[in-house]
Structure 1
């Protein structure tokens, strides 16, 4: 089960262009970024648009990893992401700003990780409610099947 989760999480991170850049990405969060992440509430609107974006990113083989590394916080990362013509077109088509995509994606990953921590008695004490709203964990649990479907790599993905 843990292996399946790890595989799914890796697929999501790759689809969100965070794989490989996650340590630099996380370190770049300013206090204001952390506050925005801690206060963001996941919604079905975000999830629907995010799933469509992930699908299009995979379908068009858009690589945005370079946008996730470099100086600055969420605003600077969003600007770099938005400056990529293919990604800008995908985000625009799904009526989502680059900053919202980044924030929502990170919050979704935090909700998944938080749910897993709370479900494991050995890790439950390590959960930090200051970084993940319990409502977002509930959202993940309610929409788990849809989220796991979104996290699956496409059938024609290599490997």
Structure 2
């Protein structure tokens, strides 16, 4: 098995991937292997392997450029990609669009930064846990924020910001 540290050094993608679990006693946040930032299938597998009884979802901060919310379910994962234009440059974002049956934007990679980002997927992915679709859309729509700031707002709104901060502090973020 490849260590997480070695795997992270082999990836060209910075950021973090965490699993968030809602248990009877509160929220639990744990780090996923860095490979979750490169492959949606890998992120889903890691989340499913947790085998928890409470609600579980993943938050992926990819290069502080965009984020992905992955919520596994028996009928297939519910997904939210904060910036669909990221699929031009990032495989994991392309994986999300593929799963959503949305074509990768036909944008020249040199012009991606000049195109206004848009979300794809399910903005109500966390509504049953306390983050209404409208609030998620406001968070995603604030393009002046980095992905980690947007995920921090999601964590604060749902009540697990302290748990997320502890995990990220341990990671060195």
Tell me the TM-score normalized by structure 1: 0.31
Tell me the TM-score normalized by structure 2: 0.29
Instruction: Considering fraction of residues, name the structure with more strand.
Output: 2
Instruction: Considering fraction of residues, name the structure with more helix.
Output: 1
Higher relative contact order (CA 8 A, sep 6+): 1
